[in-house]
Amino acid sequence: MRLHVVNPNTTASMTAKIATAARAIARPDTVIDARQPTMGPVSIEGFYDEAFAVPGMLGCIREADRDGADAHVIACFDDTGLDAARAVAKVPVIGIGEAGFHMASLVAARFAVVTTLGVSIVPIEHNLRKYGLVDRCARVRAAEVPVLALEERNAEALGKISTEIAAAIRDDRAEAIVLGCAGMADLAAELADKHCLPVVDGVAAAVTLAEGLVRLGLTTSRLGPYAVPRTKTYSGPFAPFQP
């Protein structure tokens, strides 16, 4: 099985970290193909960054499709461009945010999300409503840690994330935590041990779900909004993305 894991930002070191997390959880016969676009922001922190990350990410999706990917994982917790990717990809597409939410809902009645910056809270809340899981989420919290501060192990960042988890347990009655950034993937086990509750890493959750979809032979339905885009002209710099 070949899984394409795409980091929608352009930071190669973040892609490498995500790839390591994906390979650690993948089945032995699964090949992880990790990529990032050459155009777009170095990190995705809010709606504006997200908008400029989508074209490059979709380009990676189309390239990986041509290279024989069996499924795609979008490794940004905002699920950047997920709906568009499902419409264009030939194989299933999983976002790490949606995957993390669903995994947490299977092991806890109430979960909380701990993300990076406050600017990401509203986009995550929008996704929870869209996925029908807003009532299962006690709260979305921000540790006020920039995404790129998570490239390498950072004691200060880890402390801030841990503090928010403790607050979520104490004040929000959270029974599980979803880590709200792909850059937190390497912290899940340590934080679970420290706080004695399930801590879900979206990258691991998405890889596991993607493998399951492939094994079940399930593909994206084309009967609704994920129908193949109609052929039409795209102008200017977007001409290469013409369906």
pLDDT at 150: 84
196 shares its domain with 102: yes
Query: The domain that contains 218 carries what CATH number?
Result: 3.40.50.12500
Mean pLDDT within 7-26: 95
The SS3 of residue 42 is coil
Amino acid at 196: C
Task: Please give the distance of CA 215 from its chain centroid, rounded to a whole number.
Answer: 21
Model confidence at 221, in pLDDT bands (50, 70, 90)? very high
The pLDDT score that the predictor gives to residue 151 is: 75
Residues 119 and 192 placed together within one structural domain of the fold: yes
Residue 65, class by beta-carbon neighbours within 10 Å (0-12 exposed, 13-18 middle, 19+ buried)? middle
133 and 189 part of one domain? yes
Average of per-residue pLDDT across 124-135: 97
pLDDT given at position 42:
95
Same domain, 88 and 169: no
SS3 6: strand
Phi-psi region of 163 (alpha: psi -120 to 50; beta: other; left: phi over 0): alpha
Region 5-15 average pLDDT:
95
Reading the block at residue 131, the tokens are: 């996925």
User: What pLDDT was estimated at residue 156?
Assistant: 87
Res. 10 pLDDT band, cuts 50 70 90:
very high
Burial 209-230 (b: 16+ CB within 10 A, else e): bbbebbeeeeebeeeeebeeee
CB 34 within 8 A of CB 2: no
Helices (H), the chain: 12-25, 47-66, 82-88, 96-107, 121-130, 155-172, 188-195, 202-216
Residues 83 and 111 in one domain: no
Coil, helix or strand at residue 133: coil
Let me know whether 180 and 114 are in one domain.
yes
Sign of the CA dihedral 174, 45, 80, 26? negative
pLDDT digits (tens, 9 = 90+) for 137-182: 999 999 999 888 887 777 888 999 999 999 999 999 999 999 999 9
105 and 222 share a domain? no
pLDDT digits (tens, 9 = 90+) for 177-220: 999 999 898 899 999 999 999 999 999 999 999 999 999 999 99
User: Is residue 115 predicted with pLDDT exceeding 80?
Assistant: yes
Residues 57 and 7 in one domain: yes
Secondary structure (3-state) at 138? strand
Give how far Cα 84 sits from Cα of 80, 95, 164, 193, 211, Å.
9, 12, 33, 37, 21
Please check whether residues 188 and 114 belong to one and the same domain: yes
Domain of 8, in residue numbers: 2-95+204-241
Residues 132 and 46 in one domain: no
pLDDT score of 112: 98
Q: For the residues 4-29, what does the mean pLDDT come to?
A: 96
Is 102 found in the same domain as 89? Answer: no
Q: What is the pLDDT of residue 149?
A: 83
pLDDT digits (tens, 9 = 90+) for 49-100: 999 999 999 999 999 999 999 999 999 999 999 999 999 999 999 999 999 9
Instruction: Say whether both 23 and 103 belong to one domain.
Output: no
> How many domains in the chain?
2
Burial of 133 (0-12, 13-18, 19+ CB in 10 A): middle
